[in-house]
Amino acid sequence: MRILVPVDESEMSRRVVEYLLRHESLLGAKPEIELVNVQYSVPESIIQLFGMAAVKQYYLETGKNAFDDLSKKFDLKPLNAEERVLYGDVGTKLAEEAKAFKADLIVMGTRGLNPMKGLLLGSVSNALLARTRVPMLLIREATRAIPEKMRVGIFVDGSKYGEAAADFVLGHLELFGPDAQFTIVHCAEPVPDPIAPNPVNPMTPVLTREELEDEQKKDFKEAVQAVLDPFEVGGVNVQAKLLIGDPYKKLPEYANANLDLVVMGSHGYGSFTAAVMGSTAMHTAAETHVPILVIRRPEE
């Protein structure tokens, strides 16, 4: 597996590297890792004043500081990583490098999203999500240590994006350790109170609470079955969980209390986080403290 890891001199980058070093299963078998630092571009006037060669040398030296900072705090030898310094718009350059490196996975830190400001405030993770279809593992500030048996939740809503997330998991089981516990999670709104008979047309059928609950269970089965089937065919132990309530609240609550990793599918390109991830996924990312693996559907 080829893994791209964007780094700088921030505490968040140190958390990412520490996380990878502590959880070797996430690296898969014989990983090829590239640590990448992207230096922001400078005004043209500066380039003209000092010359491009001098500016490029400055960027290389400054970028190397990020790798030196990590080397001082960790033994990076187990990662056996290549180091690369790039120059330009961070999101664009990382997306280009992910394509050039033929990355199978991008691992990076994120401080989380504000569900409202996430539409307006840019960040490296947001920008990269909008420009690449490479799966991204987002490490959180409050990420806790993974236990011996990783609890993995795959959040689905009945769409093809959930199926894409499950396909990635099944194709890379080594990432989750030999004893991982997988749960397919779907959230549904509470069953409404039965509607009273229509006085104008009393013959209009009225569903009972039991009938409404049966409909909800049917919808749940339809939402998760296409994801469950490949796991069961592959002999992978999996269970399904139905949450009842507001998905903006219930999904993060469940993840924080019961999971070590969340896997979510996400739709096409977009310039805003909500356009890329979907509003429910964005709120989940904002409120969930465990790492999130975001899977993009391949281009159709």
- Asked if 227 and 163 touch (Cβ cutoff 8 Å), the reply is yes
Reported as a single tens digit per residue, the pLDDT across 229-244 is: 889 888 898 999 999 8
Give residue 121's pLDDT band: very low, low, confident or very high (50, 70, 90): very low
According to CATH, the superfamily of the domain at 1-109 is HUPs (3.40.50.620)
Measured torsion, CA atoms of residues 104, 107, 112, 118, in degrees rounded to the nearest 10: -40
Reported as a single tens digit per residue, the pLDDT across 186-227 is: 888 887 766 555 555 555 556 677 877 888 888 888 888 888
Q: Give the predicted TM-score (pTM) of the model.
A: 0.81
Q: How many CB atoms lie within 10 A of CB 29?
A: 9
**Extents of the domains making up the chain:** 1-109, 143-300
Pairing of strands 292-296, 136-139: antiparallel
For residues 152 and 238, what is the distance between their CA atoms, to the nearest angstrom? 10
Tokens 């991008």, residue located: 106
DSSP assignment letter at 108: E
Where would I find the H helices in 114-155? 124-129
Closest C-alpha among 113, 143, 182, 154 to residue 20: 143
According to CATH, the superfamily of the domain at 143-300 is HUPs (3.40.50.620)
For residue 291, the cross-strand partners are none
**What is the average pLDDT across 7-13?**
87
Domains 1-109 and 143-300 share a fold: yes
